[in-house]
Amino acid sequence: MTEAKIVKPSKEIWGVEPKVGDEWDAGNLPYGCAYRRVRVTVRKDTSDKWTVFCVSYRGAERLNERVITVLTCETCAKALALCLVFGSGYAVCVDHHGVDDGTLFDGTVAILLSAMGIGRSWDALDEGSRHRILWAARQIADGQLDWQKAIAAWEKTEAKGLPLNAAIRWWDAEMRY
């Protein structure tokens, strides 16, 4: 594994303090251009709050936006966003170092749900469907499953027009094929 990239504050790099509302993009999942993708972004919300969030797209259509977490450190937020896009251990905060595994997993789940278009319907999912989504997120976070395969499998499944719980079972089987 290569050495982690050290994330520095914008002021140190550019010489100016970011303004409230400024955004910084970490990249898209799957990496590169894809029809269905999720952009991971960091936004400065107040003088000491940084929101890591994701926005999903199908082609040019914006599907949804989901908050992953809110942090008080700019470089921790950017390191988390980079680790979500490029993999665990990709980046570290210059002051606080590594990214928390729990936060990284929660972010992976949020991105996966965004890619699948699952919002409030999470509460309506059966236990098996939830488990399948969480297991896929664990495999993605651990590098055992790549985003391209997970999202491509969902695109194939979604086209079948199945009810959501049945679609998730089909998607799970499609990913493992």
pLDDT at residue 1 is higher than 60: no
| Cα–Cα distance for residue pair 134/113, rounded to 1 Å | 10
Which range marks the domain in which residue 122 is found?
5-176
Model confidence at 15, pLDDT cuts 50, 70, 90, reads confident
Determine what percent of the chain is predicted with pLDDT higher than 90: 68
pLDDT of 33? 65
Report the alpha-carbon angle 101-102-106, nearest 5: 115
Model confidence at 54, pLDDT cuts 50, 70, 90, reads very high
| Cα–Cα distance for residue pair 89/134, rounded to 1 Å | 21
| Cα–Cα distance for residue pair 71/90, rounded to 1 Å | 18
Query: At 20, is the secondary structure helix, strand, or coil?
Result: coil
Nearest by Cα to 126 from 74, 87, 164: 164
Q: Is the pTM of this model over 0.95?
A: no
Which segment of 67-76, 93-102, 124-133 scores lowest on mean pLDDT?
93-102
**Under 8 Å between Cβ of 164 and 121:** yes
Model confidence at 69, pLDDT cuts 50, 70, 90, reads very high
| Cα–Cα distance for residue pair 66/45, rounded to 1 Å | 15
Helix (H) or strand (E) holding 100, with range, is none
pLDDT of 11? 81
| Cα–Cα distance for residue pair 92/100, rounded to 1 Å | 10
Residue type, 24: W
State the pairing for strand pair 91-93/5-7.
parallel
When divided into structural domains, the chain yields a total of 1
Our measurement of the distance from residue 65's CA atom to the centroid of its chain's CA atoms, rounded to an integer in Å, reads 11
Give the chain's mean pLDDT.
91
